[in-house]
Amino acid sequence: MKGLASAPGDYVYFKSQVPLHKISIGSKQWRYYDFGPKSVPPLICLPGIAGTADVYYKQIMSLSLKGYRVISLDLPRVWNHLEWVHAFEKFLDTMNVHHVHLYGTSLGGFLAQIFAQYRPRRVKSLVLSNTFLNTEKFSASMPWSPVVGWTPSFLLKRYILTGIRDGPQEPFIADSVDFVVGQVETLSRDDLSSRLTLNAAAASVGPLLLSDSLVTIMDTNDYCAIPQSLKDQVSERYPGARRATMKSGGDFPFLSRPDEVNLYLQQLHLRRVGVEPKQDQISGTSKDGNAGSLYENEDDNPQEGHGSSGSHFESHEPQSSSNAEGSHDNNGSENDDGPPKDQVSFDLPESDHDPQASGSETCLLTIISISAMASGIILLPEQVFSSIHFMIQLNLGALYTAKTLKV
């Protein structure tokens, strides 16, 4: 939380609007954001070595406003690729998500492909950004990988950060690097060594069943930590994929070129692979005013006039609760929102969203966004917590720890 003071304004806003979830499934800890209508098949963002769930906050904000569901997560602490497949599958089961669209950058893109290879039925489409097909090159450049588990944290951080190009950079790219460096600081030694192990363990992506037409390759054309030859291999592997190349953006285009990345993700990729946003659940003016018309819903709900300022949206809790109850949830359906498993703890706004209290009756969370960027007032049924919410809006509540809910 300490970083919030110097964080970009839109990140502070994001943290005040979107709850962070932390759950453990088996022995694995998951830290993730899940935002947008629960009835829409999610776009799941998988970060690279240096990333966390937070690095995609600009995508979460923008796409959820357009009625898409975005899940962004920290890579779990796994030590080989099969363990990743199993762990991620369990995560999806717990989330009650069957079909996914994966957006992976760097190591995340590699893991997305591995998952698509082993679980072809679940992966409906892929967006691969600055990524690779095999880890050969990285294992060769990291001969000390067997002792990665013994290496002190600061050395691991330094090793990861050396991959980021230094020197004079354009302000947006420099800011994106700053943000990611700040995120690396939050990672534990185990997180770091797990990622480096995954990156260096010999593995390669086998043939995918997924049609090339459902793959979008979104590389930056200026430079990035992934060598061009490896990126070329990805393009050669999926010759029918769309090549949504960006002229520049560096290693983290999702932060340095968010509007371009969002344009590609929603306007080109998700629409093309047939993901229908639920505009009737969320509508609102966007930050920059014009992005509100970026996505025009063609014929699914023409009655929804876009850009209606001061519009409100209802949260999806009621719907998702009925979904969870109606579905064949293997974990039972005691709680209505987050994944129904062991330990659930929420950060920030929805922390008071007690599954027991809301129980069967629908909990209406109405968010009236007066001005989407500047402020949002959250009205909750429980008056008790409203004061805390206002404090969070004012960034005074940042230190309020989230309530841990035992289920």
Partner 1 sequence: MASRRRMLLKVIILGDSGVGKTSLMNQYVSKKFSNQYKATIGADFLTKEIQFEDRLFTLQIWDTAGQERFQSLGVAFYRGADCCVLVYDVNVAKSFDNLNNWREEFLIQASPSDPENFPFVVLGNKIDIDGGNSRVVSEKKAKAWCASKGNIPYFETSAKEGFNVEAAFQCIAKNALKNEPEEEIYLPDTIDVAGGNRQQRSSTGCEC
DSSP string, 244-261: --BS--TT-HHHHSHHHH
268 lies in the binding site for partner 1 (CB under 8 A): yes
Per CB under 8 A, the list member of 162, 186, 202, 288 interacting with partner 1 is 288
Stretch that binds partner 1, among 24-32, 77-85, 219-227, 363-371 (CB under 8 A): 219-227
Q: Using the 8-state DSSP alphabet, how is residue 373 labeled?
A: T
119 lies in the binding site for partner 1 (CB under 8 A): no
74 lies in the binding site for partner 1 (CB under 8 A): no
291 lies in the binding site for partner 1 (CB under 8 A): yes
In the region spanning residues 296 to 325, those forming contacts with partner 1, defined by CB under 8 A, are 296, 298
Nearest to 364 by CA among 336, 390, 343: 336
Residue 56, C-beta contacts closer than 8 angstroms, at least 6 positions apart: 33, 45, 47, 70, 72, 254
Residue type, 388: I
Contact flags string 172-211 toward partner 1, x per CB under 8 A: -x--------------------------------------
Stretch that binds partner 1, among 9-17, 114-122, 256-264, 371-379 (CB under 8 A): 256-264
262 lies in the binding site for partner 1 (CB under 8 A): yes
- Total of residues contacting partner 1 (CB under 8 A): 32
Strand partners, 33: 20, 72
Cβ atoms of 35 and 60 within 8 Å: the answer is yes
259 lies in the binding site for partner 1 (CB under 8 A): yes
170 lies in the binding site for partner 1 (CB under 8 A): yes
Q: What are phi and psi of 57, to 5 degrees?
A: -65, -30
Q: Please state the closest distance from residue 81 (CB atom) to partner 1, in A.
A: 26
Between 297 and 319, whose beta carbon lies closer to partner 1?
Answer: 297
H or E element, residue 46: strand 43-46
Task: Provide the 3-class DSSP secondary structure of residue 146.
Answer: helix
CA distance 103 to 384: 39
Between 185 and 300, whose beta carbon lies closer to partner 1?
Answer: 300
Q: Please state the closest distance from residue 377 (CB atom) to partner 1, in A.
A: 27
Using CB atoms within 10 Å of the CB of residue 136, give its burial: 0 to 12 exposed, 13 to 18 middle, 19+ buried. Answer: middle
168 lies in the binding site for partner 1 (CB under 8 A): yes
- Give exposure, 145-158, as e/b (b: 16+ Cβ within 10 Å): beebeebeeeebbe
213 lies in the binding site for partner 1 (CB under 8 A): no
229 lies in the binding site for partner 1 (CB under 8 A): yes
260 lies in the binding site for partner 1 (CB under 8 A): yes
- Give exposure, 240-257, as e/b (b: 16+ Cβ within 10 Å): ebbebebeebbbbbbbbb
CA distance 388 to 404: 16
Strand partners, 73: 32
Stretch that binds partner 1, among 147-155, 190-198, 261-269, 336-344 (CB under 8 A): 261-269
166 lies in the binding site for partner 1 (CB under 8 A): no
Which residues here bind partner 1, judged by CB under 8 A?
168-170, 173, 221-222, 227-229, 232, 242-245, 247-248, 257, 259-260, 262-263, 267-268, 271, 288, 290-291, 293-296, 298
